[in-house]
A and B are shown apart, each in its own frame.
Chain A
Amino acid sequence: MVSNDVAMRISKDSNTFFHTPTKLMCLFTTAIISAAVVTISFPATAQTPAPHSKTKEKVKTTTQVKEDPLSGAELWTMNCSRCHMIRSPGEFTAAQWQTILMHMRVRANLPAAQAREIQKFLQAGAGK
């Protein structure tokens, strides 16, 4: 059984700990870093089954696939998610996408060629 004094001291210490901004920030930082390390160390564990054979050859062939220029869809994911949650193609009409892409090309300094590819992709799935 814990004596009252000890219990009070534990309670006091706990309160001090959780109300100290610096320690709270340290706790937060540790949590973020831990989660990031877990995520980066085990990428897509649930989605990606272990390769069953010929790992070397797979790596090689994947590299070959990536030699093509990035598609509009890939550029859409790569660029748009830098600053905001990505918007689905069907959220706007083709004409609206043309205007919005012009806005985003200026605001985000998107290279023109990339903006055109993203626009093509979004217009292909645009709402009516």
Chain B
Amino acid sequence: MSRATPTALIAAMACALAATVLLLNPLATQAQDTSNPPAQAAPSSSTQAQNIANSPPPEYVSRAEYDKLKAEHEAMKQELEALKATVQQLTGAAAAVPAATPAPKEGVSEGKQVAAATTPEAVTPSPAEAETAPAELLGPLATHAFTIVGDAEVQFGKISGQHGAFMLADFAPIFLFRGGDRILFEAGFDFILQNNAPDSAGSTTTVNLSFATLDYLINDYITFVGGNMLLPLGTYSERSAGWLNKFPDAPLPRAVLPSNGVGVQLRGGIPIGDKGPSVTYSAFVINGPSSVNGSGNADQLDLGGNVGLTSDGRFANLHGGAGEGGRVAVFWPWKSQYDLEVGVSGMSSSWDNAGRRQYSALVADWALHLSPYVEVKGEYMNTWVGTDDAGTITPRGWWIQAGYKFAGLKLDVPYLDKFELVGRYDRVDDGLGSRTSRGTVGGVYYVTNTLWLEADYEFTMNHGPVRLPDDSLLFQVSYGF
């Protein structure tokens, strides 16, 4: 066995050390990469593999890699700019944003940066805050909390054959009380001011309970709802608050459907993948429609009165049966603010006191968004009502609504960018010989994202004994809070 010289020994140790470092370095790099959150990780796993494989020293990048990263960066910047513009329009703060918008930061995931750029007046979350804030905030938050949201509308109307008038169309607060992570009580009211004339002087304030429900989140896919519910027949009844509806009034054919019901409901949403699409469902059991005088005559159908407690204090459903129904829908976005929602809903219930006559409804609804500027939506509804005096009648109708935000023209004209042109056509057949169709054209001016000025002209065509005013001119100020 020969003796090695110290120099040779040191050289051998240095070689062994260098070899160990080279062997361990890629492993360390991989471990570090996997520990990074996805938003901050460099491009993709395939890119990382390529980096490792093309190893001239790992701290250098090739020209191809540099160009690829640069192209990716440019693409992200363009997407950011486009998204910023769209959300600026939605928030109604287009004028204020350019000055207030912080410059995009390197290495930030695009969604978070978009959000930061579009909420100039807010305390804008930085990416780090977005990651860490929930953990910090959820701890000290109270388990029970009370919140009021809602809307209010002031209106001026000039209806043909009547004097023009101002009115407080609606003050509609929604009380929300959260009792922990799973329980929510919500109640919506409508305060309406009405003239007492010609019966007496003064005015009367009417308070309607729009809905009042106890919600319990059973799990991620099922929520129990009980109480006075907005019925998921189509989408209008659940999405008709003054600052959601771009017109001061409801589509005519909604009159053939009950808007509320007292009962219980199971509902929820099931995601399809992680890109946003989902399937939603609602299934309810309620008292159902009733008869004003108990008979099955066609003109006595009451779609909203059977709330379980009668005016003489009796605790009773007016008929023996219950009403059952539900809705199934698919929401399919293919990119941000380009989406289609299609739903089918229906219900069935007996309605006369004897429980011999049946009310059934079938509704199809759809809503299409093509960019932040174009919206088209509508509903078709058909009902079948068995009656004592008119056989089975079929009240039915449909409506379609379209809107276009002028910001989509990219004219950068002050005020014009905050304007939306809207139109609606609705048609109803009451099943008893009267058919009414109505066209509405108008516009919405977005002072802010929740304060709107609306102006609409409606022209109505009547056929049959039931007649609505021929023309109406309506102005409305809507505020959502």
Q: Which A residues have a C-beta under 8 Å from some C-beta of B? A: 21-22, 24-25, 28-29, 31-32, 35-36, 38-40, 43-49, 51-54, 57-59, 61-62, 64-65, 67-79, 81-92, 94-96, 98-100, 102-103, 105-114, 119-121, 123-128
Contact A70 B119 (CB under 8 A): no
Contact A65 B76 (CB under 8 A): yes
Encoded as 1 (CB less than 8 Å from any A CB) or 0, chain B from 418 to 429 comes to: 000101010000
Question: Contact partner of B461 among A21, A32, A84, CB < 8 A?
Answer: A21
Contact B450 A85 (CB under 8 A): yes
Compute how far the CA of A32 lies from the CA of B243 in the bound complex, rounded to whole angstroms.
22
* Interface-side segment among B247-255, B276-284, B384-392: B276-284
Compute how far the CA of A58 lies from the CA of B31 in the bound complex, rounded to whole angstroms.
28
Compute how far the CA of A67 lies from the CA of B43 in the bound complex, rounded to whole angstroms.
11
Interface residues on B, range: 35 or more
Question: Contact partner of A99 among B82, B178, B238, B282, CB < 8 A?
Answer: B178
Compute how far the CA of A65 lies from the CA of B110 in the bound complex, rounded to whole angstroms.
9
Contact A121 B268 (CB under 8 A): no
Contact A102 B178 (CB under 8 A): yes
Taking A22-B439, A77-B86, A121-B125 as known contacts, 16 extra A-B pairs with beta carbons closer than 8 A to each other, sorted by chain A number, are A32-B402, A32-B404, A35-B421, A59-B75, A65-B110, A73-B112, A73-B115, A82-B369, A85-B91, A87-B449, A88-B121, A103-B186, A105-B269, A109-B267, A110-B278, A121-B130
User: Please, could you name 30 A-B residue pairs with CB atoms under 8 Å apart, sorted by A?
Assistant: A21-B439, A21-B459, A22-B439, A25-B425, A32-B403, A35-B408, A44-B85, A47-B81, A51-B74, A58-B74, A59-B75, A67-B44, A70-B274, A71-B39, A73-B130, A77-B114, A79-B276, A82-B369, A88-B449, A89-B122, A89-B124, A90-B123, A102-B184, A106-B225, A109-B329, A120-B134, A124-B125, A124-B129, A127-B123, A128-B123
Contact B38 A61 (CB under 8 A): no
Encoded as 1 (CB less than 8 Å from any A CB) or 0, chain B from 105 to 123 comes to: 0000111101110110111
Contact A123 B176 (CB under 8 A): no
Contact A39 B85 (CB under 8 A): no
Question: Contact partner of B217 among A57, A71, A90, A102, CB < 8 A?
Answer: A102
Given A44-B81, A48-B81, A90:B122 Cβ within 8 A? yes
Question: Contact partner of A73 among B111, B149, B331, CB < 8 A?
Answer: B111
Contacts of B412 in A (CB 8 A): 46
B410 interface hit (Cβ, 8 Å): yes
Compute how far the CA of A102 lies from the CA of B143 in the bound complex, rounded to whole angstroms.
13
Looking at chain B's contact residues, the main secondary structure is mixed
Contact B370 A70 (CB under 8 A): no
Contact A114 B75 (CB under 8 A): no
Task: Find the residue from A21, A76, A120 having the highest chain B CB count within 10 A.
Answer: A21
Given A70-B111, A88-B91, A28:B123 Cβ within 8 A? no
B299 interface hit (Cβ, 8 Å): no
Contact B461 A77 (CB under 8 A): no
Contact A111 B278 (CB under 8 A): yes
Contact B221 A31 (CB under 8 A): no
Closest 9 A/B residue pairs (Cβ): A90-B122, A71-B111, A73-B115, A124-B125, A109-B280, A112-B220, A61-B72, A69-B274, A44-B82
B416 interface hit (Cβ, 8 Å): no
Contact A121 B271 (CB under 8 A): no
Contact A83 B244 (CB under 8 A): yes
Contact B133 A39 (CB under 8 A): no
Contact B267 A106 (CB under 8 A): yes
In the complex, how many angstroms separate the beta carbon of B446 from the nearest chain A beta carbon? 7
Task: Find the residue from B81, B111, B409, B441 having the highest chain A CB count within 10 A.
Answer: B111
Encoded as 1 (CB less than 8 Å from any A CB) or 0, chain B from 69 to 82 comes to: 00110111011011
B239 interface hit (Cβ, 8 Å): yes
Question: Contact partner of A61 among B68, B134, B220, CB < 8 A?
Answer: B68
Contact A36 B134 (CB under 8 A): no
Contact B87 A95 (CB under 8 A): no
Give residues of chain B (275-299) contacting chain A, Cβ–Cβ below 8 Å.
275-276, 278, 280-282
Contact A72 B130 (CB under 8 A): yes
Give residues of chain B (16-55) contacting chain A, Cβ–Cβ below 8 Å.
38-39, 43-44
Contact B141 A98 (CB under 8 A): yes
Given A25-B441, A62-B79, A65-B76, A89:B220 Cβ within 8 A? no
Contact B125 A82 (CB under 8 A): no
Compute how far the CA of A65 lies from the CA of B59 in the bound complex, rounded to whole angstroms.
23
Given A86-B87, A89-B122, A102-B215, A111:B111 Cβ within 8 A? no
Contacts of A78 in B (CB 8 A): 276, 333, 336-337, 339
Question: Contact partner of A85 among B74, B92, B114, CB < 8 A?
Answer: B92
Contacts of A71 in B (CB 8 A): 39, 109-112
Contacts of B221 in A (CB 8 A): 112
* Interface-side segment among B160-168, B199-207, B309-317, B371-379: B371-379
Encoded as 1 (CB less than 8 Å from any A CB) or 0, chain B from 307 to 345 comes to: 000000000000000000000010101001101010000
Question: Contact partner of A81 among B174, B220, B331, B372, CB < 8 A?
Answer: B372
Return the chain B residue nearest A43 by Cβ.
B371
